[in-house]
Amino acid sequence: MKRTTALIPGSFDPVTLGHEDVIARAAQIFDRVYVTVFVNTEKHGGYFTPEERLEMVRAACRPYDNVSAELYGGLVADFMHEHGITTLVKGVRGVCDFDYESGLASIMRAFDPEFETVLLPARAQFAHISSTYARELIKYGRSLEAALSAPVAALAESFGRRRT
């Protein structure tokens, strides 16, 4: 059974196989899914530019007709209000992620009591994968297949070469 529209927010620096698994699962549950690259002013820059991250997210979303990729520089709650979204989807890799995301879910309900957060536990094969791990593989010229899909890895390598 599908439940209207959902948002998957993140910095996606870069979008990993774990993120892509959450996107695929959300695409099966919801009629429409926005995967949105949020520019986090708390983080200084990031490895990839917001536009590069958006391009990688678009590549990850391409297989799904009901998923679109966006870039946004404001609050998650503002994006949700602007798009009429009440459901937030987040992947969690373990108890630390669960605790952190549970706290954020409470904050989101403070913005709007209609906001609901759905937490999708990581599949075992993706539980160790993070954007930080992917960036380390890129930084040291290692194979990216363990962390990134082929289309995303090609873009990440291309963008990374521009920096050297």
Closest to 147 in 3D by CA, of 119, 125, 163, 164: 125
Amino acid at 114: E
* CB 72 within 8 Å of CB 37: yes
Distances (CA, A) of 110 to 57, 80, 105: 29, 14, 9
**Would you mind telling me the total number of residues written for the chain in this entry?**
164
Whether the pLDDT of residue 38 is over 80: the answer is yes
Q: 5 falls in which pLDDT band (50, 70, 90)?
A: very high
Global pTM exceeds 0.85? yes
Active site residues: 19, 43, 93, 131
Distances (CA, A) of 21 to 43, 74, 87, 93: 25, 25, 18, 12
> How far is it, in rounded angstroms, from Cα 86 to Cα 115?
5
> How far is it, in rounded angstroms, from Cα 163 to Cα 96?
33
Whether the pLDDT of residue 146 is over 60: the answer is yes
Q: Please give the average per-residue pLDDT across 14-30, as a whole number.
A: 97
> How far is it, in rounded angstroms, from Cα 124 to Cα 17?
12
Place of tokens 């209000």: 81
Whether the pLDDT of residue 29 is over 70: the answer is yes
